[in-house]
Structure 1
């Protein structure tokens, strides 16, 4: 890897922006391949979004969190993870603006998404509990980190069971979209698609490292706190594939991919904290975090709960043709971002 710290500030900004563009372009291609593989494997977009798409498009984010935690920047590592989840949840509200027929949460009803949103709230609350408990770690790893991984795996198992044997079914309306209506064809073999996905994964991962290192360096040079750089800088950049993919999917009518990919991807993003805790060798990551990061944890839980209520309520139309939950999600994120910038 190049010596990023040796670059001038202007070159550093160009490097950061260039990596962001590559992540957006390549991450979008990964999402399209994952959507096709979801149809071919029969696992469905909501479940594949939590595994293949979630891990794939989030590879840049997890590399960013791990590399910055290993370099002794826990604040940047954690805020990158939580800021990414908050931004991606807000992206669904932006996507709702582009779907003009009806509220997005009404059209993309799915019991799997309800289950995954519930698991995401659990994955958000556990780190808050870790921060508030006495400092304790084993080999510099807090016990909640492996618990997060276990909850994630249990959540995937439950999502698969919900898909196979749903005990709840959304009420079908003229605006409800099903996965069967969203299948996309591709002439390439499954092996070729998987190989292409792997190649894109490598490139996006390298760019994630570049974003993390350049973001950390810019934080020191420009005098901006690691929390702000992580939550509003690296988090948004590494979440660009989700933004582009979500809006494109909604415009094409692939609503299950839009919502399932975001919620499932956010579940995977919560594991950034576990990975960062392992990479951070100075003790428990959770007890090295400021109140600013705890605020983002609480914000993510609140935004996910609002999204879950929107998926349950399934309002047909709200203000400006979008749902009330979308208005709240955009307002919360903008308010939080403004406050964080003001605090510096």
Structure 2
């Protein structure tokens, strides 16, 4: 009973802080001039993904559990894409992806590239040909570099897009009464708070894992990812309620970009050797493959822009995302 109460209290704080964080991110989107797409994909996703970084480093340094850390990363990527299906429930009669800018395909495509790089790193390690620089793998350094490049490309694209539609964007300004300094301070404070809450949630998930006795890869892919991804759910739903669909969608794709960069950091922090050599290759390669397929489906949904829902209320792409997540978790559990 004590664990249940602790979980409910923690979730309540996550909802409160996450909602406030999403509103502050919307303010920064206006103050920086970079728009909701970049702020959601870089700033907001970075803030809500920091719990994965903290809990994963703890799993590596304190418990020597690389499978738990890597499982949490790939599980979080899968759950983040499931969030698109969850958000679709809150967008009313018009499907979610029809309301989002098609430019989100850039961050989604870059996410596929980074997941593919991680998969290649695991495949090369599986055949005893790991490309290493010192103690960590070359793919890990590449993941960090690609993330930095992704943030730059997204910023350049958003600035160009905003210039083209300046008159349209100017009508959206609504935070003139808030100073940029205040917005930054509040955002940083809330980001630190969401990290602490995410680590707290992950510790609760770790205790649940001890009670259930499930394997590290499955616990990382399901329980740990659910715990550390709750902030993404809260801020994305709040963004939808603020009528900031692009902020919500970019947060999802941006979180996956940040997660892959975190995977590179994990390998660098794993001083025992290449992280890719120390993990269960089949489970994580399977998770990576499912994540790439789910991302590709979301990209098709963005481009195709289905205007009507099916008889089951959801569009075909949202139903495919839900089905793939359920099947993926089942296969991971069985293995």
Match of 1:175 in 2: none
* Native 8 Å contact 1:104 1:322 kept in 2: no
Separation in 1, partners of 2:172, 2:319: 27
Aligned ranges 1:62-81 → 2 under 5 Å: 62-71=53-62, 72-81=64-73
CA separation of 1:42/1:323 partners in 2, compared to 1, >3 Å: closer, same or farther?
same
Q: For 2:131 and 2:156, how far apart are their aligned partners in 1?
A: 35
Moved more, 32-41 or 96-105: 96-105
The separation in 2 between residues aligned to 1:184 and 1:66, in whole angstroms, is: 39
- Give deviations 1:12-60, integer Å, cap 9, x for gaps: 6655564444334323322221111011111011111122101111111
Corresponding position: 1:114 with 2:105: yes
Residue 301 of structure 1, CA deviation: 0.8
Q: 2:150 aligns with which of 149, 155, 175?
A: 155
In 2, Cα distance between equivalents of 1:232 and 1:182: 38
Deviation at residue 120 of structure 1 after TM alignment:
0.4
Match of 1:276 in 2: 266
CA distance in 1, matches of 2:109, 2:261: 16
Of 31, 39, 42, which aligns to 1:48? Answer: 39
SS of equivalent to 2:329: helix
| Count of paired positions | 323
Q: Which residue of 2 aligns with 1:82?
A: 74
Alignment of 1:84-233 (within 5 A): 84-111=76-103, 113-133=104-124, 134-165=129-160, 184-185=174-175, 187-233=177-223
Check the 8 A contact 2:48/2:195 in 1, yes or no.
Answer: no
Show the counterpart of 1:174.
none
CA contact 2:206–2:224 (8 Å) conserved in 1: no
| Distance in 1 separating the partners of 2:266 and 2:44 | 21
1:27 is aligned to 2:24: no
Alpha carbons of structure 1 residues 280 and 182: separation in structure 2 relative to 1, 3 Å: farther
**Structure 1: segments with no counterpart, 5+ residues:** 1-9, 170-177
Q: Deviations over 1:207-226 (max 9, x none)?
A: 33334445445434531111
SS in 1 for 2:307: coil
Contact 2:102/2:303 (<8 A) preserved: no
Q: Check conservation: 1:114, 1:311, Cα contact below 8 A.
A: yes
Is residue 116–residue 155 contact of structure 1 (8 Å, CA) maintained in 2?
Answer: yes
Q: Secondary structure at the match of 1:283?
A: coil
1:160 to 1:202, Cα distance in 2 relative to 1, 3 A:
closer
Deviations 1:106-151 (A, max 9, x none): 121232x111111000011001100111234334211111101111
CA RMSD of aligned residues (A): 2.4
Moved more, 184-193 or 35-44: 184-193
Farther off after superposition, 315-324 or 150-159: 315-324
TM-score by length of 2: 0.87
Q: Deviations over 1:151-190 (max 9, x none)?
A: 1111122222222335xx9xxxxxxxx8667655374422
Change (3 A) 1:82 1:310: same
CA displacement, residues 69-116 of structure 1 (integer Å, 9 cap, x when unaligned): 2231111111111111111111111211222232221121232x1111
The yes-or-no answer on 1:242 pairing with 2:237 is no
Q: Could you report, residue by residue, the CA deviation over 1:229-280 in whole angstroms, capped at 9, with x for unpaired residues?
A: 2111121121112212222322442211121221122211221201211222
In the alignment, the residues of structure 2 paired with residue 279 and residue 208 of structure 1 have an alpha-carbon distance, to the nearest angstrom, of 20
